[in-house]
Structure 1
Amino acid sequence: MKAATVVSIKKELQHRSSEELIELCLRLSKFKKENKELLTYLLFESHDETGYIEAVKSEIDDLFEQINTNSYFYIKKSVRKILRLIKKYARYSLKKETEVELLLYFCKQLKAFKPSIKHNVTLTNIYQRQIVAIQKIVATLHEDLQYDYTVELEQLEA
């Protein structure tokens, strides 16, 4: 079965009643965890972006604490997992400021991580790629926000 385009789905949804839309949303949430997480964000957390960011930051803290530090292999695996999670949560929000906040926090945590990431090329590259990604996003933001985030970036790079 071939999936319909977003435009055709939108047109079809406009012709449905509110009860049918509720049923469709509930059915959609049963199929994938990401669908349920997105609906949770849209219904309960989208009105309080700062609370959402803080909740994600605390989850990042927990994940950093759980990293197995016996080998850089396990550290790399865990760091990539955390980064995937951050990207997913940033996609739910669709706000560039949220993505920058989360990536900055990730970089701060990674820089402060023990054992140091400087002893591993892959981890250093991950860190550097995130710094570049933050710089690209910051360039698209309002001037005041650009200044604030640039100051934080300079602190990270120092």
Structure 2
Amino acid sequence: MSIAYPTADLKKELQHLNAAEIAALCLRMARFKKENKELLTYLLFKADDPEAFVQQYKEEMDKQFKQLPGKSFHAVKTLRKIALLMNNQIKYSGLETVKVELLLHFCHNYIEQVYYHSSYKPLHNVFYRFAEKTKAAIQKMQEDLQYDYGNLYNEMLQYAEEEIHWFEKKSLLL
């Protein structure tokens, strides 16, 4: 049975290792789990420029949305897959601005790309769920950022209400 030590203990132990030993440990961890490798990739190559990271991931998300199937059931499965990948990227960055920008972009792509004239409820719920997640993320931000992103969010809701016949923004407004 394997027991994981607390982070504080790990930190103390890592301080006793030299750079080569730490690098070897990191590479070994990266081999065992895809998420570890993705996190290490983010930290080494993308963490220093969050704006470029967001832009690059938005482009990737755009490609995924363009390949969205027309059938409602398959579209929901694909949307959930896109959301899972996006949530991993958000988790790697740990920045609220990255989270809000990617969530807003997801919602905007939904409005643009999804065939939402369907009466399939799970397809509708995806948009509502991500609009709520975006609202909650904005409310956790600093006041000046809340104002800026709040305006973008409310504009997105207005656009959604104009485009999607079943959508009502009342409960989602900031």
TM interval, shorter chain, is over 0.9
- Aligned partners of 2:29 and 2:36 also within 8 Å: yes
> Which consecutive unaligned segments of at least 5 residues does structure 1 have?
none
CA contact (8 A) 1:53 1:102 kept: yes
Counterparts of 1:127 and 1:64, CA distance in 2: 14
SS for the counterpart of 1:3 is: coil
Shift of 1:118: 5.8
**TM-score normalised by structure 2 residue count:** 0.85
Q: Percent identity?
A: 36
8 Å Cα contact 1:111-1:117 kept in structure 2? no
The answer as to whether partners of 1:29 and 1:35 remain within 8 angstroms in 2 is yes
Deviation at 1:5, TM superposition (A): 2.1
Q: Which residue of 2 aligns with 1:125?
A: 125
Per-residue deviation, 1:33:
1.4
Aligned partner of 2:164 in structure 1 is none
- Which sits farther off after the overlay, 22-31 or 5-14? 5-14
Is residue 19 of structure 1 aligned with residue 20 of structure 2?
yes
Contact kept in structure 2, 1:96 and 1:137, CA below 8 Å: yes
Q: String of CA shifts for 1:13-48, please: whole Å, max 9, x gaps.
A: 111111111110111111111111111111111111
Q: CA deviation at 1:2?
A: 2.0
Change (3 A) 1:154 1:117: farther
| Aligned counterparts of 1:67 and 1:114: Cα–Cα separation in 2 | 7
Looking at structure 1, the residues matched to 118 and 60 of structure 2 have their Cα atoms a distance apart, in angstroms, of 24
Q: Which residue of 1 aligns with 2:42?
A: 41
TM-score (norm 1): 0.93
Structure 2 CA distance for partners of 1:47 and 1:121, relative to 1, 3 Å: same
Do 2:90 and 2:98's aligned partners in 1 also have CA atoms closer than 8 Å?
A: yes
Structure 1 contact 117–124 (Cα < 8 Å) conserved: no
CA contact (8 A) 2:58 2:105 kept: yes
Aligned to 1:98: 98
Partners of 1:107 and 1:31 in 2: CA distance: 33
State the SS of the aligned residue for 1:119: coil
Q: For the Cα contact (< 8 Å) 1:117–1:123, is it kept in 2?
A: no
Gapped regions of structure 2 (runs ≥ 5): 159-174
